[in-house]
Structure 1
Amino acid sequence: MPTRIFLTSGDLMADRRYDFARDLQMKGDLPGAADLLLQATDLAPNFVTAWFTLGDIRETLGEPDAAITAFRKAWDGDPDDRHGARLRLMRLGAEPLAAMPQGYVQVLFDQYARRFNSALVDDLGYRGPDLLFGAVLSVRAAARKPAFFKRAIDLGCGTGLVATAFAKEVDHFIGIDLSPRMIEKARSTGLYAELEVGDIVEGLRARPDSSADLILAADVMIYVADLAPVLAESSRVLAAGGLFAFTTETHAGEGVILGAGLRYAHAAADVREAVEAAGLNLSLLEDRSARTEDNIPVPGLVAVAAKG
Structure 2
Amino acid sequence: MNSMRFSSGDLVADRRAEYAAMLHEHGDHAAAAELMHETLLLVPDWAAGWYRLGEMREASGDIEGAAQAWRRSLRIDPADRMGAALKLELIGAASAIDAVPSAFVETLFDQYADRFDASLVERLGYRAPELIMAALQEAGAERFAHVIDLGCGTGLMGERLRAVSSFIEGNDISRGMLKKAETKRIYDRLWREDLQTFAPGARRADLAVAADVLIYLGALDRLLDAVAAMVLPGGLFAFSVESHDGPEPVLLRPSRRYAHHRAFVEAQLVRAGFEIEVMRSATLRQDRGEPVEGLIVVARLALKPTVETFAAPFVTDEEQPAALN
TM-score normalised to the size of structure 2?
0.88
C-alpha separation in 1, matches of 2:52 and 2:286: 27
| Cα separation, 2, equivalents of 1:41 and 1:160 | 40
Measured in 2, the distance between the counterparts of 1:50 and 1:124 equals 29
Match of 2:221 among 190, 206, 228: 228
Match of 2:180 among 180, 185, 189: 185
Whether the 8 Å CA contact 1:97–1:225 is kept in 2: the answer is no
Identity, in percent, stands at: 38
3-state secondary structure, aligned to 2:3: coil
1:280 is the counterpart of 2:274: yes
Long gaps (5+) in structure 2:
303-325
Aligned residues: 300
Tell whether 2:36 aligns with 1:41: no
Q: Distance in 2 between matches of 1:118 and 1:287?
A: 25
Amino acid at match of 1:137: Q
**Separation in 2, partners of 1:136, 1:206:** 22
> Is contact 2:4-2:18 (8 Å) kept?
no
Q: Which residue of 1 aligns with 2:108?
A: 108
Q: 1:295 to 1:40 in 2, by over 3 A?
A: closer
Partner residue, 1:14: 13
Task: Give the whole-Å Cα distance in 1 for the aligned partners of 2:240 and 2:219.
Answer: 14
Give ranges in structure 1 of 5+ residues lacking alignment: 141-145
The change in CA–CA distance for 1:195 and 1:5 in structure 2 (over 3 A counts) is: farther
The structural deviation recorded for 1:297 is: 2.0
The one-letter code sitting in structure 2 at the alignment partner of 1:63 is D
Residue type matched to 1:252 in 2? D
TM-aligned CA deviation for residue 12 of structure 1: 4.5
Where does residue 309 of structure 2 map in the other structure? none
Distance (Å, rounded) in 2 between the aligned partners of 1:258 and 1:171? 37
CA distance in 1, matches of 2:102, 2:77: 12
**Aligned to 1:299, which of 293, 296, 314?**
293
> Displacement, 1:104?
0.8
For 1:297 and 1:8, how far apart are their aligned partners in 2? Answer: 34
Q: Say whether the 8 Å CA contact 1:5–1:83 is kept in structure 2.
A: no
1:201: how far off? Answer: 4.6
Q: Aligned letter for 1:248?
A: V
- 1:83-94 matches, cutoff 5 A: 83-94=82-93
- Measured in 1, the distance between the counterparts of 2:23 and 2:282 equals 41
Report if aligned partners of 1:153, 1:216 keep a CA contact under 8 Å in 2.
yes
- Please report how far the alpha carbon of residue 198 of structure 1 lies from its aligned counterpart in structure 2 after TM superposition: 1.6
Q: Give SS of 1:60's match.
A: helix
Partner of 1:171: 166
**What's the secondary structure of 2:41's corresponding residue?**
helix
Q: Alpha-carbon deviations, 1:207-227, whole Å to 9, x = none?
A: 326x10000000001111111
RMSD between superposed Cα atoms in Å: 1.6
Alignment of 1:236-275 (within 5 A): 236-253=229-246, 254-275=248-269
Give TM-score, length-normalised by structure 1: 0.93
Partner Cα separation in structure 1 for residue 229 and residue 78 of structure 2: 32
Q: Which residue of 2 aligns with 1:143?
A: none
Q: What does the per-residue CA deviation read over 1:183-213, in whole Å, with 9 as the maximum and x for residues that have no partner?
A: 011111111011011212544x14326x100
> Taking structure 1 as reference, are residues 183 and 190 closer, same or farther at Cα in structure 2, changes over 3 Å only?
same
- CA offset at residue 20 of structure 1? 2.6
Contact 1:158 1:186 in 2 (8 A): yes
On the 8 A contact 2:4/2:17 being kept in 1, the answer is no
Deviation at 1:43, TM superposition (A): 2.6
Q: Per-residue deviation at 1:231?
A: 0.6
Per the alignment, do residues 252 and 29 of structure 1 end up closer, same or farther by CA in structure 2, a change over 3 Å counting? same
Structure 1 residue 288: Cα displacement: 1.2
Quote the offset at 1:102 in angstroms: 1.0
Give the secondary structure class of the aligned counterpart of 1:260: coil
